[in-house]
Every structure is written in structure tokens, then in C-alpha cells.
Structure 1
């Protein structure tokens, strides 16, 4: 007898497939999904320390260091000394990084539309609402954005 699939496996597998779709659509922009999430987070957080950014997007300090180096090399961000705390560096989007945000947002919209096409508009909106609710219940919030109103499920 085969064991029953655990309920959360559908969520985990779907998340992987959504990230694959993001990766496919971001490839022409020359960036990966995690890099896109970091750039979008910086839109709301910059200037921000590398440590704060890593914590906000859920990347290890070592992973964030590698990501920072790649984004610096691509010309999407700058790193400078924080004038208030000279021992700390802050990251900011460059004009080139800012210019990528509209294209990244278009990719996010295309992925949302793909989900709507797959599930239908009503079920997709229910999924999105429940995903936000689950994220909050598990202690997460989107980086650099205010929490959603508590009345929204």
C-alpha cells in the first residue's frame, strides 16, 4: 500500500514549478528569481545593509554576500559606507537596477496570469489570499512592505 501524499507536498511542488516559470521568464533579463526578489525588496528598503536585506528576503549571510557581488558586477546595485555608521555598508539600486524593476514586475504579472489561467480567476484569487494568510500565520511578511490589514484573510 502506498502512503498518502502529505497535504503540504502539493504546495511545495507548486512553489517549485512557479519558480521554474519565473526563471524561464526572467532569463531574457539576465537575472534569476532570487536576484529579482532582492532587487524588488530593495525598491522598498534601500538604502539597506546587506545583513538587513538578507534577513528580509530569507537568504543566508554567505548567500547574500555572493548575491551582492553578482548584482554589483551586473551594475544593478551599489555598495557604499553608511555615513551614520561608518563600519556598516549600505546597498542601493543603480539606475540600471531601477530600470529592471518594471520588467521584473511584468514577469511577476505574467506568472500571476499563468496561475489564473491554470485555476480560473476565482480559484486563483482564493489561492493568493490563502497564500498570504499562510505566510502571515507562519511569521512571514513581504520584505520592505507594510503588513496587510489584519481584516484581510
Structure 2
């Protein structure tokens, strides 16, 4: 990876996993943000819709914990998703002070659009790798992620 000025970064940096992960993640984040903007979404929307699809209805607090999103950011993202008809809020029958969030059919369609956008980004980001290398990279990154989360 070259720096913004077109110069190659020093080998000392390029041989450090944390530097490589940080700079690759920054680039990946830009690609994902651009792809989501193209479908009128954001990263948090995709994460929340993914969690709702996989695990079912949940409280805002549970969604935030599951997706690693700050409570105030969850509220804002849920507000946006609800305004677009992608989720509905309903009182939790077990605790009326809490809302349960449920994904709608429109939300599942948006999730599918998001999935296609993310897949296109994976293809662009990981173009230098073979299919096997991609699987191995994801496997190794999951090991690191699981070790720190």
C-alpha cells in the first residue's frame, strides 16, 4: 500500500500487523461507506438489520451490545431505520419501559441490498487474493477478533 503522496511506506511499518490492519481497515471503511451511500444506508444500519435478521427481535440495548454500537448511536440509527419503514418498535411485553425492535419485509430487502454492496466491496478490496487466500484471511482475522472481543 502506498501513502497518500504515492510513496511506499517503510518496511518497518509494512511488516507490522497492527499497522497493516489499521490502514487496510481505513481503506475498507471508505469503500463500504461509499457502497452504502449508494443504497441510502450506513454501516450501523447494515449491522442492526443483520442482527435482527439473524437473531430476531431485540431491545435497543441488546442490539447495541451485539453490534458493538454505542447506545446513543443505536437510538439514532433505529430512528432512521424506523423512518424508512425498515424496522418497527413495539413495547416489550416483559418490560413496558423498553422497546423491542423488529425488522420488516422492507428492512429485509434493504439488508439484501446492503449484502450485495458489501460483497462488491469484498471483491474490490480483496482482488489481489485468490478465493482460498480470501477464506484464509477471514479465518485468521476471525481468530484475532475472537481473541480481543
Q: Which TM-score tier does this pair reach, normalised by the shorter chain? A: 0.7 to 0.9
User: Which of 93, 106, 111 is matched with 1:83 structurally?
Assistant: 93
CA distance in 1, matches of 2:30, 2:128: 15
Tell which has more relative contact order, 1 or 2 (C-alpha 8 A, sep 6+): 1
Moved over 4 A (4+): none
Asked whether the 8 Å contact 1:47–1:91 carries over to 2, the reply is yes
What's the TM-score, normalizing by structure 1?
0.80
- Stretches of structure 1 lacking an aligned partner (at least 5 in a row): 140-153
Q: Is the 1:115–1:124 contact (alpha carbons within 8 Å) kept by the matching residues of 2? A: no
Which blocks of at least 5 consecutive residues in structure 2 are unaligned?
1-9
Task: Please tell me whether the aligned partners of residues 35 and 118 of structure 2 are also in contact (alpha carbons under 8 angstroms).
Answer: no
Give the secondary structure class of the aligned counterpart of 1:102.
Answer: helix
| 1:93-118 deviation digits (Å, cap 9, x = unpaired) | 12211111211121222222223312
| Corresponding position: 1:130 with 2:140 | yes
Per-residue displacement from partner, 1:49-89 (whole Å, max 9, x unpaired)? 00000011111111111111111112211111012222221
Q: TM-score, normalised by structure 2?
A: 0.82
The CA distance in 1 between the partners of 2:126 and 2:22, in whole Å, is 18
**Aligned with residue 32 of structure 2, among 22, 39, 48:** 22
> Would you say how many aligned residue pairs link Structure 1 and Structure 2?
138
> What do the CA deviations read for 1:31-63 (whole angstroms, capped 9, x no partner)?
012211111111112310000000111111111
Deviates more, 1:92-101 or 1:107-116: 107-116
Once the two structures are superposed, the pairs formed by residues 54-133 of structure 1 within 5 Å of their partners are 54-133=64-143
SS at match of 1:118: coil
Distance 1:33 1:92 in 2: 18
Equivalent in 7, 10, 13 of residue 20 of structure 2 = 10
Moved more, 80-89 or 111-120: 111-120
Alignment of 1:23-62 (within 5 A): 23-62=33-72
